Homo-oligomer: A and B are copies of this chain.
Amino acid sequence: MHQNQTLIKSMEVLRLFEQYESLTLTEIVEMLGQPKTTVYRMVSSLQSMGWISRRKDSRYELGLLFVHYGQLVLERLNIRDLVLPVMRQLSHQLGETVNLIVREGLEGVYIEKVEAVHPVRIYHQRPGDRVPLYAGACPRVLLSFLPDEEVAEYLRHVKLRPFASGTITKIQDLQMTIIESRRVGYTISHAELVDDTSAVAAPIFNHLGEVVAGLSIAGLTSHFSDERLPNLTMSVRQAAKECSCLLGYPERESQLERLNG
């Protein structure tokens, strides 16, 4: 795969700013292990285009141009606009945080979050954050409703890495969960990404019947008691179904609905 090494090296510079809020040229030089002149060229090029900018204290930081591009991307996800009102309603109704994620490649990307008002927020998945498709209810629901071949392909190659005490680490377990999810039309997770947190998620389909997003209710595991679960799963499924309808997914009872009355 012949690629532009200059370009790739330059973008490495930007990558550094994921961890560091601001950097000086010398710091970048040290971190990349590249000669100063080389880094200088890359940095000033990026700066001249607005991708990075200089503060008054002469340190470099990410430019506001990224706000613009981030905004563009979000606006173009038309799913988001349709689903947001439903998310707000759902969050208000249950008093829990509601997440929306879409798939990019082998990962799920958080797009929108509507926070529960009252409780102190303990953990925070932020817009743009990525997670593997196997961990957490919301990502896994995206995986579960992919076409059979894609799921099989995924299961064949994925390496299961634990994030928290409940992360699924055996392919067999993952496969079983997927089959079960498909049968019942939703997924539940306990402490798969973060300890002491749970989620229940349902898939959103487009007019072609393809999964385009996952909708989840997430919160402290203590909020997901057995008595409350039926209500929660019912609510996400209902909300996700609404969203699917908004996207043109056939309203009529699908095979999935019939199975679960």
Contact = CB atoms under 8 A, between A and B. Distances in A.
Interface string A54-85: 00000001111111111111111000000000
B62 A69 contact: yes
Given A3-B41, A4-B42, A70 B66 contact: yes
Interface string A144-166: 00000000000000000000000
Interface residues of A, number: 49
Given A62-B72, A70-B70, A10 B18 contact: no
A29 to B, nearest CB: 16
Contacts of A65: 128
A211 B46 CA distance: 26
Number of copies: 2
Contact of A18 (B49, B53, B72, B105): B72
Contacts of A45: 3-4, 7-8
Contacts of A6: 4, 6-7
Contact of A64 (B17, B48, B128): B128
A126 interface: yes
A116 to B, nearest CB: 18
Interface of A: 1-4, 6-8, 10-11, 14, 17-18, 21, 41-42, 44-46, 48-51, 53, 61-76, 102, 104-105, 109, 111, 126-130
